Amino acid sequence: MEKGGLRPGDHVVITGASSGVGTAALQVAGRIGAIPVATTRTAAKKRHLLDAGAAHVITTDDEDVVKEVRRITDGKGAEVIFDAIGGPGLATLGEAATHDGRLIVYGWLDGRPAVLPANWPLTVIGYNNLALTADPAARRRAAHFIGSGLRSGALAPVVGATFDGLERMADAHRLMESHAHTGKIVVKVRH
């Protein structure tokens, strides 16, 4: 919202949508009246993402992201793309943006070099939470938005799995590496 100018009615493509950040982004987009479009690799997570707030889910192993975003947006493309992946797919992902859209790169799950999209005009923003939290006014706005969303129930952390005790850390790590979960993995530690 702060960097990408997401507004009610905007389509926002959220890559890596089954992650903790991705599920939170689905809820934030829905809360302000935007239309969240989730991407995930396989259809196995589709129901979970719809339940988490996605209006649409694109499975990247089976569907062409650009073609599907164009279909969902009646040909115009998404106003905002919130990308956790980066890498060479960034160029293709930019093609899913509307004319003068915004592509926010906040993660590098694909550590390979990224090529900038040639879909101009397009604003590409490298995002880091520290830039937001370092500004007292932005931090206050974020705290109010998140706090009021948690109190109202509009925002609720999605927990994919819970493990009891540090002795289960290896199990939690295996689940994380399997990419089979949706949301955060929590390890409970007792004193």
- Reported as a single tens digit per residue, the pLDDT across 31-73 is 999 999 999 998 999 999 999 999 999 999 999 999 999 999 9
Does the residue 44 lie in any domain? yes
Q: Are residues 116 and 182 in the same domain?
A: no
Does the residue 3 lie in any domain? no
Cβ(4)–Cβ(104) below 8 Å: yes
- Average model confidence (pLDDT) for the chain? 94
pLDDT tens column, 122-159: 999 998 888 778 899 999 999 999 999 999 999 999 99
**How high is the pLDDT of residue 179?**
86
**How high is the pLDDT of residue 190?**
84
Does the residue 2 lie in any domain? no
**How high is the pLDDT of residue 50?**
96
Does the residue 57 lie in any domain? yes
Does the residue 79 lie in any domain? yes
Burial 135-172 (b: 16+ CB within 10 A, else e): eeeeeeebeebeeebeeeeebeebebbebeeeeeeeeb
Cβ(78)–Cβ(98) below 8 Å: yes
Percent residues over pLDDT 70 in the chain? 100
- For tokens 């926002």, name the residue: 12
- Identify the domain containing residue 125 by its residue range: 11-152
Does the residue 4 lie in any domain? no
Cβ-based burial of 80 (10 A; exposed 0-12, middle 13-18, buried ≥19)? buried
Q: Are residues 93 and 168 in the same domain?
A: no
**How high is the pLDDT of residue 77?**
98
Number of structural domains (the chain) is 2
**How high is the pLDDT of residue 131?**
77
